[in-house]
Amino acid sequence: MNKLYGKTVFITGATKGIGRSCALAYAEKGSNLILTARSSDLLDSLKEELIRKYGIKVFTLVLDVTKSSDVEEKIKSLPESFKKIDILINNAGLALGVDKVYLASPTDIDTVVDTNIKGMLYISSAIIPLMLKNDSGHVVNIGSIAGDCAYAGGAIYCATKAAVKTFSDGLRIDLVDTKIRVTNIKPGLVETEFSKVRFKGDLEKAKNTYKGIEALTPNDVADVVIYATNLPENVQLTEIAMTPNHQADGRTVHRDK
């Protein structure tokens, strides 16, 4: 049964990878979308594609989740018809580098922590009050299996994804007397531009991340997001971990030669 038709879904980092796949998957279900990211041209072309293919309503916000005042102002300025947000997908995020933690630059540390943790907090704090007005909603945080166990070269990224888990758990407690649900989705290796960003444009290194293993696709993750948010309202999936068949955890991957 499709409970998602006509719902309004707010997605951060909607221009690429998992966020983009979620946008397409919700559009296919007939949801209306608020798409956000920093790249206005990609937002515009995605909006045009979704309206043309699915006839849904789409609103775009050029938004850097790390800028708290921008987040607050832009969410306040949403048109009334987009202010009843049913589902929030906190997806924008990144890793930078695989250096030992004490070699990482302060700028990279700030970017990763500000995006993955503070961005999620700013967006959630701006949107949850809107959900509370109707005592309904679903917050989906895109965490990672990286938050369950650290791996070499991932200390900062893994710490931010552990924070996604702890924040999700705390938020679920804060909202326990409401109808708002909170789900932390924790994928393993997903082939997107994530590694291109992590390796700062080094495509060879990025490609090697997925060598010898059939990684998850962003559509695989979107399918799970759709599943979690399409369940009856009495059902709250607290966490879902998902990995490619040949990945056991953040440290353990079997690769074909």
250's contact among ligand 8X3, ligand NDP, none, with CB below 5 to 8 A by partner kind, is ligand 8X3
- Other Cβ atoms less than 10 A from the Cβ of 94: the count is 16
Q: Which is nearer to ligand NDP, 37 or 140 (CB)?
A: 37
Q: Name the 3-class secondary structure at 241.
A: strand
Q: Name the 3-class secondary structure at 197.
A: helix
Q: Do residues 64 and 37 lie in contact, with contact meaning Cβ atoms separated by under 8 Å?
A: no
Of 19, 154, 218, 244, the residue at the interface with ligand 8X3 (CB under 6 A) is: 154
Q: Does 192 bind ligand NDP (CB under 6 A)?
A: yes
154's contact among ligand NDP, ligand 8X3, none, with CB below 5 to 8 A by partner kind, is ligand 8X3
Active site annotation includes 157: yes
The one catalytic residue in 7, 118, 161, 165 is 161
CA 196 to CA 86: how far, in whole Å?
32
118 phi, psi to nearest 5 deg: -65, -35
Residue 12 Cβ vs ligand NDP, minimum distance, rounded to whole Å? 6
Candidates 181, 235, 191, 228; CA nearest to 213 is: 191
Of 4, 7, 8, 18, the residue at the interface with ligand NDP (CB under 6 A) is: 18
Q: Which is nearer to ligand 8X3, 13 or 188 (CB)?
A: 188
> Exposed, middle or buried, 219 (CB in 10 Å: 0-12/13-18/19+)?
middle
Q: Does 15 bind ligand NDP (CB under 6 A)?
A: yes
Q: Does 144 bind ligand 8X3 (CB under 6 A)?
A: yes
Q: Does 193 bind ligand NDP (CB under 6 A)?
A: yes
Q: Are strands 58-62 and 180-187 parallel, antiparallel or unpaired?
A: unpaired
CA 199 to CA 184: how far, in whole Å?
26
Q: Which two tokens stand for residue 256?
A: 């074909």
Of 27, 127, 162, 189, the residue at the interface with ligand 8X3 (CB under 6 A) is: 189
91 phi, psi to nearest 5 deg: -115, -30
15's contact among ligand NDP, ligand 8X3, none, with CB below 5 to 8 A by partner kind, is ligand NDP
Q: Does 197 bind ligand NDP (CB under 6 A)?
A: yes
Active site annotation includes 3: no
Q: Does 97 bind ligand 8X3 (CB under 6 A)?
A: no
* Residues whose CB is less than 8 angstroms from the CB of residue 112 and which lie 6 or more positions away in sequence, other chains included: 94, 95, 96, 156, 157, 160
Binding positions for ligand 8X3, rule: CB under 6 A: 144, 146, 154, 188-189, 250
Binding positions for ligand NDP, rule: CB under 6 A: 12-13, 15-19, 37-39, 42, 63-66, 91-94, 115, 119, 142, 144, 187, 189-190, 192-194, 197, 218
